[in-house]
Amino acid sequence: NAGVTQTPKFQVLKTGQSMTLQCAQDMNHEYMSWYRQDPGMGLRLIHYSVGAGITDQGEVPNGYNVSRSTTEDFPLRLLSAAPSQTSVYFCASSLGPMDTEAFFGQGTRLTVV
Amino acid sequence: GQQVMQIPQYQHVQEGEDFTTYCNSSTTLSNIQWYKQRPGGHPVFLIQLVKSGEVKKQKRLTFQFGEAKKNSSLHITATQTTDVGTYFCAGRFYGGATNKLIFGTGTLLAVQP
Domains and CATH numbers, chain B: 4-112 (2.60.40.10)
Whether the CB of B1 is below 8 Å from some CB of chain A: the reply is: yes
Long-range CB contact pairs, A49-57, < 8 A, 24+: A49/A74, A50/A97, A50/B99, A56/B99
pLDDT of residue B26: 87
* Minimal-distance CA residue of chain B relative to A92: B43
Q: Which of A6, A32, A43, A98 to mutate to test the interface with B (most CBs of B within 10 A)?
A: A43
Contact B33/A101, CB-based, under 8 Å?
yes
User: Strands A87-94 and A108-112, how do they pair?
Assistant: antiparallel
Interval B90-105: pLDDT, tens: 998 876 656 788 999 9
Distance from CA of B35 to the nearest CA of A (A): 9
What's the rounded mean pLDDT across residues B1-6?
86
pLDDT of residue B100: 83
One-letter amino acid identity for B57? Answer: K
Chain A residues touching chain B at CB-CB below 8 Å = 31, 33, 35, 40-45, 48, 50, 56, 58-59, 90, 92, 97-99, 101-107
Q: How many residues does chain A have?
A: 113
Q: How many residues does chain B have?
A: 113
Distance from CA of B62 to the nearest CA of A (A): 18
Strands of the sheet containing B55-58, edge to edge, are B4-7, B19-25, B71-76, B61-65, B55-58
- Across the strands, what pairs with B58? B61
Interval A54-102: pLDDT, tens: 999 999 999 999 999 999 999 999 999 999 999 999 999 998 766 689 9
Interval B31-56: pLDDT, tens: 999 999 999 999 999 999 999 999 99
pLDDT of residue A1: 64
Q: Which residues of B touch A51 (CB under 8 A)?
A: none
The percentage of chain A sitting over the pLDDT mark of 70, rounded to a whole number, equals 96
The percentage of chain A sitting over the pLDDT mark of 90, rounded to a whole number, equals 88
What mean pLDDT, rounded, does chain B reach?
A: 94
Contact A101/B45, CB-based, under 8 Å?
yes
Contact A101/B98, CB-based, under 8 Å?
no
Separation between Cα atoms, residue A88 and residue A38, nearest integer Å: 7
Separation between Cα atoms, residue B3 and residue A6, nearest integer Å: 27
CB within 8 Å of B94: residues ≥ 6 apart: B28, B29, B30
Burial class of residue B66 (count of CB atoms within 10 Å of its CB; 0-12, 13-18, 19+): buried
* Minimal-distance CA residue of chain B relative to A91: B42
Closest alpha carbon to B6 in B18, B20, B22: B22
